[in-house]
C-alpha cells in the first residue's frame, strides 16, 4: 500500500485525510485506489455515522497529478480512451456522493480541478480563509471529469469559472455558494469537528435517509444523466489535439512540466 490515505476514528466520526503533502495532495492512481477502498470500508461500518474528508498539510488537493499521463493511460488518445479515463475519474469522485453517511469536506489551501470536484461531491464544505478554489482544466485544453459545479453554484457562476479557469479565494467561494462556511485557518478543524459531532449525535438512520432523499432529488432532476452527457462530450474535447494543447506539450517535452505551466499562465494572464 502507498499509504496515501490516513483515517482516524473519533467516536462515530471517521476523519479521512488525503496523504500526499509533498505533491499538494494531488490525485495519483494509488490515492484513487486507496481512497475508494476507504470509502467502501466506511460505508460498511455501522459504527461510523459521519465522515470528514481533508488533506494532510497545507492543501486539500491540487487536482489530478500532472506528472501522470492520464490521457494516454487508458489507451490511445482517442474518444474511446478518453471516455474511459473520464468515466473512471467520475466514478472515483462520486465516492462522497454515494457514501450513505454524511461527508464533510474540510478545505485549506489549494482545492483545484479534480480535488475541487471531490469537495463538491461532499454534503457540506467548511473552508479555511487560506483556501483557493477553481477548475483550471480549460487552460490545459481539458475538461472537468465531473461537471458538478453547475449543480452547486448555479449556471451563471459555473460558466464564469469554467470558461475562464479562474481561481477564487474562500470568501468568493462562500459568496457564490461553493462552500458553507469560512473560518480562520487555526479554527477550521475545531469548527468542522464541532459540526461533525452535532450530526453524529443525531439518529444515524434518519440522517442517512435524509441524505438519500436529498441526493434523490438531484437524481430525479437529471444529476447523473448530466454528468454522463458531460463525459461523452468531454471525451471528444480531450481527444482533440488543439493548438493550445500541442504548444503546451511541446514546451513540457522541451523544458519540463514546470516551464510548461509557467508558459500557460503567462499566455492566459
**Cell triple for 27:** 490525485
Q: Which domains does the chain show, CATH number per domain?
A: 5-241 (3.90.226.10)
Report the C-alpha gap between 67 and 223 in whole angstroms: 31
Q: Do residues 110 and 24 lie in contact, with contact meaning Cβ atoms separated by under 8 Å?
A: yes
Q: Do residues 239 and 82 lie in contact, with contact meaning Cβ atoms separated by under 8 Å?
A: yes
- C-alpha radius of gyration, the chain, whole number: 18
- How far is the CA of 250 from the CAs of 71, 145, 269, in angstroms? 16, 24, 20
Strand partners, 126: 106, 181
Q: Do residues 204 and 49 lie in contact, with contact meaning Cβ atoms separated by under 8 Å?
A: yes
Q: What is the pLDDT of residues 142-191, one digit of tens each?
A: 889 999 999 999 999 999 999 999 999 999 999 999 999 999 999 999 99
**Residues 10-20 as b or e (16 or more Cβ within 10 Å = b):** eebbbbbbbbb
Using alpha carbons only, what angle is made at residue 160 by residues 158 and 77, rounded to the nearest 5 degrees? 75
Report the C-alpha gap between 236 and 37 in whole angstroms: 30
Q: What is the pLDDT of residue 74?
A: 66
Give the Cβ contact number of residue 268 at 10 Å.
13
Checking if the pLDDT of 269 tops 80, the result is no
Q: What is the pLDDT of residue 266?
A: 81
Q: What is the pLDDT of residues 16-37, one digit of tens each?
A: 999 999 999 999 999 999 999 9
Q: Do residues 86 and 47 lie in contact, with contact meaning Cβ atoms separated by under 8 Å?
A: no
Checking if the pLDDT of 128 tops 80, the result is yes
Best CA proximity match to 51, nearest among 136, 122, 120, 146: 122
Q: Do residues 179 and 107 lie in contact, with contact meaning Cβ atoms separated by under 8 Å?
A: yes
Q: Name the helix (H) or strand (E) containing 245.
A: helix 243-255
Separation of first and last alpha carbons in the chain: 40
Report the C-alpha gap between 192 and 197 in whole angstroms: 9
Give the Cβ contact number of residue 254 at 10 Å.
9
Q: What is the pLDDT of residues 199-256, one digit of tens each?
A: 999 999 999 999 999 999 999 999 999 999 999 998 888 888 777 778 887 888 888 8
Q: What is the pLDDT of residue 243?
A: 79
Amino acid at each position: 500500500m502507498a499509504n496515501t490515505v490516513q483515517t482516524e476514528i473519533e467516536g462515530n466520526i471517521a476523519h479521512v485525510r488525503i496523504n500526499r503533502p509533498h505533491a499538494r495532495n494531488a490525485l495519483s492512481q494509488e490515492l484513487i485506489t486507496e481512497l475508494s477502498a476507504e470509502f467502501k470500508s466506511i460505508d460498511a461500518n455501522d459504527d461510523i455515522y459521519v465522515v470528514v474528508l481533508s488533506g494532510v498539510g497545507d492543501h486539500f488537493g491540487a487536482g489530478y497529478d500532472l506528472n501522470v499521463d492520464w490521457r494516454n493511460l487508458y489507451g490511445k488518445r482517442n474518444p474511446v480512451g478518453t471516455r474511459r479515463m473520464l468515466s473512471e475519474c467520475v466514478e472515483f469522485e462520486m465516492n462522497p456522493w454515494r457514501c450513505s453517511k454524511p461527508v464533510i469536506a474540510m478545505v485549506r489551501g489549494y482545492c483545484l480541478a479534480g480535488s475541487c470536484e471531490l469537495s463538491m461531491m461532499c454534503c457540506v464544505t467548511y473552508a479555511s480563509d487560506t483556501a483557493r478554489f477553481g477548475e483550471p482544466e480549460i487552460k490545459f485544453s481539458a475538461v472537468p471529469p465531473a461537471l458538478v459545479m453547475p449543480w452547486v453554484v448555479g449556471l451563471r457562476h459555473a460558466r464564469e469559472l469554467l470558461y475562464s479557469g479562474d481561481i477564487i479565494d474562500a470568501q468568493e467561494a462562500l459568496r457564490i455558494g461553493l462552500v458553507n462556511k469560512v473560518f480562520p485557518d487555526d479554527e477550521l478543524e475545531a469548527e468542522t469537528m464541532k459540526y461533525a459531532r452535532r450530526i453524529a449525535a443525531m439518529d444515524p438512520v434518519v440522517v442517512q435517509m435524509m441524505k438519500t432523499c436529498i441526493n434523490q432529488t438531484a437524481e430525479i432532476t437529471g444529476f447523473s444523466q448530466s454528468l454522463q452527457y458531460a463525459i461523452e462530450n468531454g471525451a471528444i474535447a480531450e481527444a482533440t489535439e488543439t493548438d493550445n494543447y500541442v504548444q503546451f506539450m511541446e514546451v513540457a517535452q522541451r523544458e519540463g512540466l514546470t516551464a510548461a505551466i509557467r508558459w500557460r499562465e503567462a499566455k492566459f494572464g
